Chains A and B, each alone.
Chain A
Amino acid sequence: MMNPKTQNKVAIGTLYGIAGLVVLILMALLGYILVSGLPQLSWHFLTAPAKAFLKGGGVGIQLYNSFYLLILAMLISFPIALGAAIYLYEYAKDNWVTTTIRTAIEILSSLPSVVVGLFGFLFFVVKLNLGFSILSGAFALTFFNLPLLTRSIEDSLRTIDTTQREGGLALGLSRWETVTRVILPAAVPSILTGVILSAGRVFGEAAALIYTAGQSAPALDFTDWNPFNISSPLNPMRPAETLAVHIWKINSEGIMPDAKAISSGSSAVLVLAILLFNFAARYLGKRLYKRLTSA
């Protein structure tokens, strides 16, 4: 039996070792992504269309598709999540109906994204005949995003003091008016942080998209902004491979000669985008909080 003091030293030394190793692994991972990816980045890489069989393609269309899908998915999921969160936190009584609903949301959040994607494929692509399209993809991403966004908005509502609600009600406002005029403005900074963080998740999602938004990126005409034209970037009915799907596809097909370089570059773009989302969430959250609350 070791003396407790030696034991203490050994154990704490081991913990230092483990933590150091983990930092090393995580740093190596980030370092690898950035070191192998950053040299690939150039204006040409970020804007040129991909080439399937030749070297020197870019990821312009995929990058655009990623952002377009992200915005559409957010436009669809935000109002729904906001409404659901408001009802759950401000109206719902603590009974079995609420418990069941909460369980359903939890189940949705724990579903593997590939299952959500397959459902999207079955329902939107096949049953509703939307085909492999941005719209199908945006709906699949919405399902994937809804539970987490709802939870994060609900958490934001929870941070607002009950006295604010009592104040609103005491002034004779209805509950709904209290929520929209008093609670929501106060919760905007933290809601925004949650939205941006979930945007990062949506941006990198691929499994839910390969069978909904499709795996092809038809050429786009960036001068044609009529959403009804097939080559218009705004057309929601065209198939749209995103950046994350592109990485998966060129690596599993193995026909693109510079697949590795393109994937490295794309991975770096994805990671930089996530970094940017994280920083933006923190910065904007703080900034808005200062402005809106005069704190």
Chain B
Amino acid sequence: MKTTEQLEHQLKRHSKAAKLEIWGKFISFSALLLIVAVVVAIIGFVASKGLATFFSNHVSLWDFLSGKSWNPGVTDAHGKPEVGALPMIVGSFLITVLSAIVATPFAIGTAVFMNEISPNKGAKILQPVTELLVGIPSVVYGFIGLSVVVPVTRAIFGGSGFGILSGTCVLFVMILPTVTSMSVDALRAVPRYYREASLALGATQWQTIYKVVLRAATPGMMTAVVFGMARAFGEALAVQMVIGNAALMPGSLVDPASTLTSVLTTGIGNTVMGSLQNNALWSLALVLLLMSLVFNLIIRLIGRKGRLQ
């Protein structure tokens, strides 16, 4: 004879499957939370370290962003440390914008060829090659830059061969496959009947591509280019190997220069944790992180605008 409590307990308790369900949901949610925690931790740590330059070392933000000499161990005539990050910021932006300008026409042209003109050859040759090249490690690009691009630049323009131009060449080849394959996706998303309607109206193939397909795929193409720029901006080793690593304002495209990432990779191991030299490097990392957030935001904005149309 069961008491009412026993019966109640028996009826109200979770079945084995229900327990498993709760566990599964809990565990998978924890995994997701872990990823979010990682993101928060990365932003938090880099921000706290990067802001220390301004709060504990009392460097003014304006001096940091506009100063032209980078030598954090040395103080200038006014007794302030020389932490002008402008040369690196300019270097990073210059190299990013230039490589995107060069890569965009090639990437879009190739994508149009693959998707509109010769899907057959595209699928057979271009698709596998671009897919493979997306996966090639950046150090390999850097090494080829060092052993091919730098000597060629040196032979043509004189000087050392290291500099923004070599960096741009390397990044151009590096982001080309990424931008191309994303542009192909954008073109593929354009409905087939757009093309059929245009051709039926008597437009030539080129008119159809130019006036209909490319217009419809513009948001996707822009996303592809911004994505490529984000990759170029954040690329560290390949650029560091060919840019010459001189923290100076770039006077010309063939002078040695530096970027945020190149100074970070060469510097962080040679400074003492907590010192101004080290904190200044973390400030550069913070700039890098903020820029990648900005790129992210731009991609989102383009996506939202593209959807409204």
User: Is B a genuine binding partner of A?
Assistant: yes
- Choose from A4, A11, A146, A205 the contact partner of B137 (Cβ within 8 Å): A205
Say yes or no for B126: interface residue by CB 8 A criterion. yes
Chain A residues with CB under 8 Å of B28's CB are 83-84, 86-87, 90-91
- Choose from B42, B114, B282, B295 the contact partner of A143 (Cβ within 8 Å): B42
Of the candidates A150, A180, A247, the one having the most CB atoms from chain B within 10 angstroms of its own CB is A247
In the complex, the answer to whether A8 meets B292 with C-beta atoms within 8 Å is no
CB distance from B219 to the nearest CB of A (A): 17
Interface size on A (CB < 8 Å)? 90
The chain B residue with its CB closest to the CB of A90 is: B28
CB distance from A92 to the nearest CB of B (A): 8
| 10 A–B pairs (Cβ distance < 8 Å), ordered by A | A22-B180, A83-B32, A101-B36, A111-B292, A119-B45, A121-B268, A179-B24, A211-B268, A252-B240, A277-B135
In the complex, the answer to whether B237 meets A248 with C-beta atoms within 8 Å is yes
Known: A206-B138, A244-B137. A111 touches B113 (CB 8 A): no
Known: A18-B110, A252-B241. A30 touches B129 (CB 8 A): yes
In the complex, the answer to whether B138 meets A114 with C-beta atoms within 8 Å is no
Say yes or no for A54: interface residue by CB 8 A criterion. no
CB distance from B284 to the nearest CB of A (A): 10
In the complex, the answer to whether A12 meets B25 with C-beta atoms within 8 Å is no
Say yes or no for B152: interface residue by CB 8 A criterion. no
In the complex, the answer to whether B24 meets A180 with C-beta atoms within 8 Å is yes
In the complex, the answer to whether B206 meets A211 with C-beta atoms within 8 Å is no
Chain B residues with CB under 8 Å of A115's CB are 42, 46, 234, 285, 288-289, 292
The chain B residue with its CB closest to the CB of A14 is: B109
In the complex, the answer to whether A201 meets B135 with C-beta atoms within 8 Å is yes
Say yes or no for A48: interface residue by CB 8 A criterion. no
CB distance from B259 to the nearest CB of A (A): 11
In the complex, the answer to whether B137 meets A80 with C-beta atoms within 8 Å is no
Say yes or no for A32: interface residue by CB 8 A criterion. yes
The chain A residue with its CB closest to the CB of B112 is: A15
In the complex, the answer to whether A119 meets B42 with C-beta atoms within 8 Å is yes
- Choose from A4, A86, A110 the contact partner of B295 (Cβ within 8 Å): A110
CB distance from B295 to the nearest CB of A (A): 6
In the complex, the answer to whether A105 meets B35 with C-beta atoms within 8 Å is yes
Known: A8-B206, A14-B109, A206-B139. A116 touches B147 (CB 8 A): no
Known: A105-B39, A210-B265. A19 touches B113 (CB 8 A): yes
What 10 pairs across the A-B complex have the smallest Cβ distances? A112-B234, A204-B137, A83-B31, A176-B24, A18-B109, A19-B113, A87-B28, A8-B204, A114-B236, A11-B206
Q: Chain A interface mostly helix, strand, loop or mixed?
A: helix
In the complex, the answer to whether B265 meets A278 with C-beta atoms within 8 Å is no
In the complex, the answer to whether B129 meets A33 with C-beta atoms within 8 Å is no
Chain B residues with CB under 8 Å of A4's CB are 204, 206-207
Say yes or no for A267: interface residue by CB 8 A criterion. yes
Say yes or no for A167: interface residue by CB 8 A criterion. no
Chain A residues with CB under 8 Å of B21's CB are 174-177
- Choose from B40, B45, B140, B230 the contact partner of A247 (Cβ within 8 Å): B140
CB distance from B304 to the nearest CB of A (A): 13
Q: Mark B43-58, 1 if CB is under 8 A from A, else 0.
A: 1011001000000000
Q: Mark B158-192, 1 if CB is under 8 A from A, else 0.
A: 00000000000000010011001000000000000
Chain B residues with CB under 8 Å of A245's CB are 139
Say yes or no for B61: interface residue by CB 8 A criterion. no
CB distance from B222 to the nearest CB of A (A): 16
In the complex, the answer to whether B236 meets A278 with C-beta atoms within 8 Å is no
In the complex, the answer to whether B143 meets A267 with C-beta atoms within 8 Å is yes
Known: A111-B289, A177-B20, A274-B135. A207 touches B237 (CB 8 A): yes
Say yes or no for A26: interface residue by CB 8 A criterion. yes
Within 8 A of A (CB), among B11-30: 17-18, 20-21, 23-25, 27-30
